[in-house]
Amino acid sequence: MSKLTAISYDYSVVLIDGQCLLCHGFAKRILNSDKKNRFKLGYLQTFVNDDLVKTIKPQSHVDSVILIKNGKPYIKSEAALRVMKSLGGLYRISMVFRLIPKFIRDIVYDWIARNRFGWYKKLDECPIPPQKWRDKFI
């Protein structure tokens, strides 16, 4: 069992691209809204050699968001929507996008992923999380 799989039975794990400002915005939204401490976050670059990530990455070319919940990985739009649903409140409204077929949602997701560094600055390295959120990172 990979480290991520084991951790994900205690928490849902969200891996983001540590060099992507769009991903960091998503992570901040999670950190500010996760009042029940359901999530741990990590940088995909840190776990690139984890057995679970190695099985996901070649198949899907994911380089921005992975959700691992109860040992099961979710990628692309499905990962983002499941995170939003878990946050509750107004974020649950995003579930309306589940009415759109997954292959269409993922086409849009891939387009955003391809263009995100043109729209947002790319960081040279993964930043160290602020002290107040360090316990939320793995």
pLDDT of 104: 95
pLDDT of 57: 62
**Predicted confidence (pLDDT) per residue in 28-40, tens digit:** 889 989 888 899 9
Q: In the β-sheet with 72-75, what is the strand arrangement from edge to edge?
A: 39-43, 12-16, 65-69, 72-75
Q: Which two tokens stand for residue 38?
A: 């359901």
Of 107, 6, 114, 98, the residue nearest 50 (C-alpha): 6
**Predicted confidence (pLDDT) per residue in 6-25, tens digit:** 777 788 999 988 888 888 88
- Whole-Å CA distances, 60 to 73, 94, 114, 127, 131: 12, 23, 13, 25, 33
- The predicted model scores a pTM of 0.85
Q: Which two tokens stand for residue 78?
A: 């499905």
CATH number belonging to the domain at 3-136, selected among 3.40.30, 1.10.3470, 3.90.1070, 1.10.1060: 3.40.30
pLDDT of 122: 79
Cβ count near 121 (within 10 Å) = 10
pLDDT of 13: 92
